[in-house]
Chain A
């Protein structure tokens, strides 16, 4: 691994990362619990104050050990994990992060370092949401990720289950995406997303403020949320329960004065309670990627070319029935007076054309792909 990669980070900032890695269990004791998580505030503290608060008894020893780390040891630690680093004094470090008072001192990453410097507030959107997303949330997140990435926007998310991974998956299909982790950047967490983690590192970035090999802590997730919020010009919450980590990200983004968007959901659905509350509080309504672009860049600044494939005459009424709320072949058949198999066949074709999606339970829902008629 080349030496220059570490040269973008000064040893002092890197030592901060290593200190956080060592403080993991100590911060776990004080940073979590009610009310909410204090880790973003804690991470504003200087090294000395932080160990004073988190680990008063062993603090001196920890600081001594951190101070003793040589530049060579740090760079070897990065190189052996296949990572590079950039610190707040470096050239690659994104300008919008520097603005934040609690910005990470250093970012450890995998992937193409040059992409880090290209992350502009107006070209970056953070998509977050519940780990326990419904099929609606997953579909919307995936489509949002795909369309934003296709429009050249970098999609930032957290690689978690549910909304996060769907947004990543949609985005890697069409463009670039950045995963910010709550553990070392060389660790695929959750492990089920190892292949996704690898794909993201291949054509995007995996970032973390923790040193390579650091395990995930409860406090490290709110901490990485502040990085996600600060990186992007806009944060979109797809689905989130009333008390969800995604809402922490939304609050942090609002505190930084960034745009905040939320995907509306059924008022009866607990999974959409968070975004619906954000909407009530004045967040932008996000129905699709066009709404995001309009909110972030100004209405009409950028038009997406999004018309789907041509629709057969016989399929149009079936699509209309799905839009009207019919979710099963039986329901469509009854609504249109078709026989069951014909309705099923029409739904299969619509799914193939990308207009509807089908859940594991066989419920068909409209995707956000507009028809050629809608797009014009």
Chain B
């Protein structure tokens, strides 16, 4: 007897449909799975066998062949257990289910037949909707996550034992409510009020947040760089519902939805030993990297100079394009990665800075260390701020302005940008043509031209200064960029030396 069921395999952050064909016929008893299964899929044999027996079904002592179509697509993960088990029950005549081909199933099985959650339930439910499935059966623990995909009937299942009652129409599980999406940082998230004093750093953070500009902080250890970076998500504007769903989809595909869902905008701070593949995604089939996990949020690279050069180089194109393209033999995958890059670095290997007489770094070491700061990645960083050691009086002073107040100003500035550029866009994403269209005061134009001539700037640096000046003007509610705004922008772009 032959039976087919529909399931999905995860590919990057989206799910691809897989048809499970099970044939049970006479011959030497055996259980074979074909169709490019990975090790986890192949081991489904043992899980399905035990689950069937332990739920009171009979495991047919016949020749069983499971084919996963399309045969050319690599199938990964244990999420196909449920579909294989259901198709096997149907093929062996233990379950009369005509609609099996019309619904989709996804879930891992425990040996006792209960279901275990799978990563990417949201993407799978969305793919089920796209493929026209009537309903999708998912492990109960994935129910509320899958329910985020609207327009498909999500049926939560606790175990294989519930299938006969469900099929017979004797039992109807309650439909799960969709997980609430948090658009804003949770109230207990770290607040900018913790940053004492340091008005210059605060201003730089505010400008970077207002225009979505990338930010590099250079300063001695303990000056507050990491603290400032971790407060950035709390001053960014709240996520749009569509953006929040995108964030949830990526987090779900990486199996970390629970941690991410309450966070508002993502904040990712990978350790500096990370590989290029870990940072931008890679492997076969491609898995999203930290850059994609930080989509719509903040990617914080602490100790920028300690990162591997190839990892930083890999970040260049995605930073510009807003997406990662991973090309494999099976085709190219595009993963979104519209993140705000925030980096921090010590001035030299010992951290004190060469102006400090205590600094023991050899000039050669300092040069090599800072080489990464002047590389092509640093060229794409908009705001450079020098962070100094806070004074004792500043630390002793009361808390600074809280995140909510700063965010209100940031949101106003973002609204002005959206009016000018269109929904969802910010100044950091302006094309060179758009940047040059911004109205400029003659004095401001003079300042920029002066700098351009004196320091022999590249065209890119010129446009970046324009974008930053535009953001400063937006924060002040001005239509035209004046000399004051331009000077502030140039101060935040001190890097622009010839």
Contacts and interface: CB of A to CB of B under 8 A. Distances in A.
A250 to B, nearest CB: 21
A360 interface: yes
A361 interface: yes
Contacts, number: 94
B362 interface: yes
Contacts of B492: 344
B355 A361 contact: yes
B494 A333 contact: no
B491 interface: yes
A344 B383 CA distance: 13
A162 interface: yes
B105 interface: no
B355 A344 contact: no
Contacts of A367: none
Nearest to B384: A362
Nearest to B485: A345
A363 B200 CA distance: 12
B223 to A, nearest CB: 10
Contacts of A198: none
B363 A162 contact: yes
Contacts of B447: 349, 352
Contact of B450 (A161, A333, A346, A352): A352
Contacts of A271: 357
Interface string A328-343: 1110010000011110
Interface string B272-292: 000000000000000000000
Main secondary structure of the interface of B (DSSP, over half): helix
Contact of A192 (B200, B367, B484): B367
Residue in A346, A347, A352, A360 whose Cβ sees the most chain B Cβ within 10 Å: A360
B219 interface: yes
Given A328-B388, A352-B450, A362 B218 contact: yes
Contacts of A135: 354-355
Interface residues of A, number: 34
Nearest to B219: A361
A362 B354 contact: no
Contact of A329 (B200, B357, B367): B200
Given A131-B363, A134-B354, A349-B447, A361 B487 contact: no
Interface in B455-498: 472, 484-485, 487-488, 490-492, 494
A352 B454 CA distance: 8
B363 A360 contact: no
B35 interface: no
Contact of A333 (B199, B218, B363, B451): B199
B353 interface: yes
A132 B363 contact: yes
B491 A345 contact: yes
A349 B386 contact: no
A122 interface: no
Nearest to A130: B363
A134 B356 CA distance: 8
B143 interface: no
Nearest to A270: B357
Contacts of A136: 355
Nearest to A132: B363
Interface in B327-361: 347, 353-355, 357
B258 to A, nearest CB: 40
A109 to B, nearest CB: 27
Contact of A268 (B357, B362, B491): B357
B370 interface: yes
B456 to A, nearest CB: 12
A345 B484 contact: yes
B388 A361 contact: yes
Contacts of B355: 134-136, 359, 361, 363
A347 B487 CA distance: 8
A196 interface: no
Residue in B354, B364, B387, B492 whose Cβ sees the most chain A Cβ within 10 Å: B354
A367 to B, nearest CB: 14
Nearest to A334: B199
B192 interface: no
B482 to A, nearest CB: 10
Contacts of A270: 357
Contact of B357 (A269, A330, A349, A360): A269
Contacts of A328: 200, 386, 388
Contacts of A340: 199-200, 202-203
A363 B488 contact: no
Given A348-B487, A349-B447, A361 B218 contact: yes
A52 to B, nearest CB: 38
Interface in A296-353: 328-330, 333, 339-342, 344-349, 351-352
B315 to A, nearest CB: 22
Residue in B203, B347, B367, B472 whose Cβ sees the most chain A Cβ within 10 Å: B203
A247 B351 CA distance: 29
A359 B388 CA distance: 12
Given A345-B488, A349-B447, A352-B450, A361 B200 contact: no
B403 interface: no
Contacts of B451: 352
Contact of B491 (A192, A269, A347, A359): A347
A348 B357 contact: no
B385 interface: yes
Interface of B: 197-200, 202-203, 218-220, 347, 353-355, 357, 362-364, 367, 370, 385-388, 447, 450-451, 454, 472, 484-485, 487-488, 490-492, 494
25 contacts: A132-B354, A132-B363, A134-B354, A134-B355, A135-B355, A161-B364, A162-B363, A328-B200, A328-B386, A330-B388, A333-B199, A340-B202, A340-B203, A341-B203, A345-B490, A347-B491, A348-B487, A348-B488, A349-B487, A352-B451, A360-B354, A361-B353, A361-B355, A361-B388, A362-B219
Interface of A: 131-132, 134-136, 161-162, 192, 268-271, 328-330, 333, 339-342, 344-349, 351-352, 358-363
Given A340-B199, A362-B218, 8 more contacts: A134-B355, A271-B357, A330-B200, A344-B487, A348-B490, A348-B491, A359-B355, A360-B370
